[in-house]
Amino acid sequence: MTVPVASTLERPSLSKAEFTAGFHAIGEERYHHKHPFHLLMHDDKLTRGQLQAWALNRYFYQNRIPVKDAAILARREDPAFRLAWRKRIPDHDGDGTKPGGIERWLKVVEATGLSRDLALRGDGILPATRFAVQAYVDFVSTRWHREEQDKAHAAVRAKCDILRAQLDALYFAYVNPGWPPPGALQPAKENA
């Protein structure tokens, strides 16, 4: 939905409480912790292959977060914002002296019995995950023409929708009906 420029300029900014409440409302409605795939995982009801598929696809998502953060940095003029935001990149990539969060996700992949190389190559990733993750990077790279508060809420909504689409694809491919597409991880073959 495109918001007319006049209406975005005339709207008053949200208070801090309203802005925060907006994030809470989005999370309550859309956050992935309520998805059936996540509920199965938290109830310890996934098979090893299903958990492997989740870890591999989640690693792929996490691996693109620094790219998303760099896109946000590239579009911002405020040095104070850039100074604060750029810390997110070494949090994920590491800083040369210590590993970042992406390395921890590689360890999660390995803990499921899959190889690090499989994850690094991007083999076995669901097409829906590839699409959703790239859509997220594209979204934050190109959608910065609205009020900052609206953009932040829209980005969180998009993130939640993207993660939900990823979980929908995981559920369809590995739970019910259990039809992983060609090129995606085939747990029965991987564990044979």
Picking from 43-47, 73-77, 127-131, which range would have the lowest pLDDT averaged per residue?
73-77
At 145-180, the pLDDT tens digits run 446 667 777 888 888 888 888 889 999 999 999 999
pTM above 0.85, yes or no: no
Could you tell me the pLDDT band of residue 26, with boundaries at 50, 70 and 90? Answer: confident
- Does residue 144 belong to any structural domain of this protein? yes
* CATH code, domain with 164: 1.20.910.10
- Does residue 127 belong to any structural domain of this protein? yes
Mean pLDDT value across residues 120-125: 96
Task: Output the CA–CA distances (angstroms, integers) from residue 93 to 13, 59, 73, 128, 156, in the order listed.
Answer: 34, 12, 15, 24, 22
3-state secondary structure of 149: helix
Residue-wise burial string across 121-149, b where 16 or more C-beta atoms lie within 10 A, e elsewhere: eeebbbebbbebbeebbebbeeeeeeeee
- Does residue 13 belong to any structural domain of this protein? no
Q: Is the dihedral of CA 129, 132, 135, 137 positive or negative?
A: negative
- Does residue 3 belong to any structural domain of this protein? no
Q: What percent of the chain shows pLDDT beyond 70?
A: 89
Q: Considering its fold, how many domains does the chain have in total?
A: 1
- Does residue 5 belong to any structural domain of this protein? no
Range of the domain at 75: 32-186
- Does residue 22 belong to any structural domain of this protein? no
pLDDT at 188 over 80: no
Picking from 48-62, 112-126, 178-192, which range would have the lowest pLDDT averaged per residue?
178-192
- Does residue 15 belong to any structural domain of this protein? no
- Does residue 8 belong to any structural domain of this protein? no
DSSP code at position 176: S
